[in-house]
Amino acid sequence: MKELPFDKSMIEEAQEWADNLGAIKNSITKGKGNYVGRLGELALAKHIGAGEAQDQSGYDLVFNGKKIEVKTKRRAVPPRDSYLVNIAETSKHQSPDIYAFISSQFNTHKKGKYTGLEKLWLCGYKSSEDYFDQATFYSKGDKDPDMPLYKFSASCYVMRIRDLDNVIQL
């Protein structure tokens, strides 16, 4: 995993974008993750030299002719290789060539609210085809096998961070 730098201008742009967007139709977090989602897109675009974030309905960035969808997950701790990344079943309409997975680390998490953004972590990449071939599907309400007290809040395709690619496969 690699820490992605971000700056004040990126934070301001992401916050303004999130405020204007509101809830996203197929979002697991119902729009609560818009700010960090956009910040993840901006930070990744700068990191890989993709230019401006596209923010199309089926992908977020274009890099070397490949469409990339950025999935950013909020956490209160740094990500570990054993942690999960997921793509909601309702997001299968998206049409990227590659998924990029980012974890945002906050210093506080209480009652579903994250505050004090500390870091962004690039967890890895996976081609769309490989992701759905290799991921495990869980239905809404299924128990996480590693944390039986946690139930999936939406039907999704799940993979461990350690199974992601470290570089974009072009």
Assess if residue 168 is contained within a domain: no
Assess if residue 170 is contained within a domain: no
Q: What domain range is 55 assigned to?
A: 2-163
Residue 154 has pLDDT above 50, yes or no: yes
pLDDT mean across residues, the chain: 88
Output the CA–CA distances (angstroms, integers) from residue 72 to 39, 44, 69, 124, 149, in the order listed. Answer: 9, 11, 10, 11, 23
Assess if residue 145 is contained within a domain: yes
E strand intervals along 30-164: 61-63, 66-75, 84-88, 98-110, 113-127, 136-138, 156-160
pLDDT tens-digit series, residues 46-94: 999 998 777 677 899 999 999 999 999 999 999 999 999 999 999 998 9
Q: Record the pTM.
A: 0.89
Q: What value does the mean pLDDT take over residues 130-159?
A: 93
Q: What value does the mean pLDDT take over residues 28-35?
A: 58
Of 100, 106, 34, 32, the residue nearest 76 (C-alpha): 106
Q: Residue 9: phi, psi to the nearest 5? A: -65, -35
Assess if residue 169 is contained within a domain: no
Taking a C-beta distance cutoff of 8 angstroms, is the pair 151, 141 a contact?
yes
Assess if residue 104 is contained within a domain: yes
Selected residue with higher pLDDT from 144 and 28: 144
Of 133, 56, 129, the residue nearest 99 (C-alpha): 129
Q: In the structure encoding, which two tokens stand for residue 87, read together?
A: 């793509």
Of 107, 45, 110, the residue nearest 72 (C-alpha): 45
Residues 6+ apart with CB under 8 A from 19: none
Selected residue with higher pLDDT from 53 and 155: 155
Number of domains in the chain: 1
pLDDT of res. 22: 55
Position 29 confidence tier, pLDDT thresholds 50, 70, 90: very low
Position 31 confidence tier, pLDDT thresholds 50, 70, 90: very low
Q: What value does the mean pLDDT take over residues 157-163?
A: 97
Q: How far apart are CA 170 and CA 165, in angstroms?
A: 12
Selected residue with higher pLDDT from 13 and 147: 13
